[in-house]
Amino acid sequence: MRLNYIQQAYKGLHDGWRYIVGIMIVIFFVVAGQIPYTVAAIVEAHRQGLNLFELNESDLMGLLESNLNLALMLLSFAVALVGIFLVNKFLHKMTITQLTTSRSKIDWKRFWVIFFAWGIISSGLVLLDYFASPEHYVFNFDLNKFLILSVIAIALVPLQTSCEEYFFRGYLMQGIGVVTKNRWLPLIVTSVIFGLLHIANPEVDQLGYGIMVYYIGTGLFLGIMTLMDEGLELALGFHAANNLFTALLVTADWTAFQTYSILKDTSDPTRAGFGDVFMPVFVMFPLILFILSKVYKWKNWKEKLFGNIQEPPKEDYKIIDE
């Protein structure tokens, strides 16, 4: 019997306390990964004669040179990703493949198909808005700075998005699933936590708490994708494309990613409304799920999203001695 994605956790050590300890270890790696950024910010603030603790978020974002700021910010996610993999291997005795998919090996074709598909679509939507409302943008292209940005983004953005996917749709999804023995609770919990962790983003200050609908809705979208497809490949590809193409194509003074992108959005951020927040969650994401369901022949939606998780017979998974 082929085990579903959440049931992959039964192939390793899956006691509830291990997930609590694992989360604490991952948090330690997150904090450790932020040390280089913190040190660089302290040094730069001292050089400018500023008190780091008196700076508001906008000033903090502009304290370091943009490419350096992005690299150090993304570095913390890369360190955290290492922590997730170490916890998975040594605390749970599981492989990266088991954390990634229910398939016998990771399906990279799924990753690349949605990566390029969403990259092209999302870039097209930005360009469409640019040509429809050119007064809201300025041409921000600087070849030398953009080339450096490209190297940083291509190398580190996928690590940032993979960190979030492996932690929320991977580690927590499997952990909560085997502990609670159902699917809907890990889907809801991981989506809400994923959304709430974005509450400190500068976008929330500019657009208001309504944008949390987008963040939590994105978490639900990626979670549904993971449960229906029985693996992280599609979620990894979508998330990587979403952040990478955005970092390279467009930035704004009020976004979390401050980059030397090709375009800069200079419009009033309060103009973001239905099209920017609700359209993706209630129109585009359902449409994407519908298309993927046809491409990958997803069935049994009710069972896969709301069904119970049964511990499989011992002969269907490897028994690990502690």
Q: What is the pLDDT of residues 73-131, one digit of tens each?
A: 999 999 999 999 999 999 999 999 999 999 999 999 999 999 999 999 999 999 999 99
β-strands 137-139, 263-265 pairing: antiparallel
Q: Single out the residue of 116, 154, 180 nearest to residue 310, CA to CA.
A: 180
Provide the pLDDT for residue 60: 72
- What is the spatial distance between Cα 235 and Cα 221, in angstroms, rounded to a whole number? 9
Specify whether the CB–CB gap between 240 and 234 falls below 8 A: no
| pTM of the shown model | 0.94
Which residue do the tokens 């709430």 mark?
196
Q: What is the pLDDT of residue 322?
A: 40
CA distance 62 to 237: 30
Residue 124: count other Cβ atoms within 10 Å of its Cβ.
Answer: 10
Helix, strand, coil proportions of the chain in percent (round to 5)? 70, 5, 25
List Cβ neighbours of 60 (8 Å cut-off, separation of 6 or more). 41, 52
Name the nearest CA neighbour of 27 among 183, 153, 180, 197: 197
pLDDT tens digits, one per residue of 133-191 = 999 899 999 999 999 999 999 999 999 999 999 999 999 999 999 999 999 999 999 99
CB atoms within 10 A of CB 154: 12
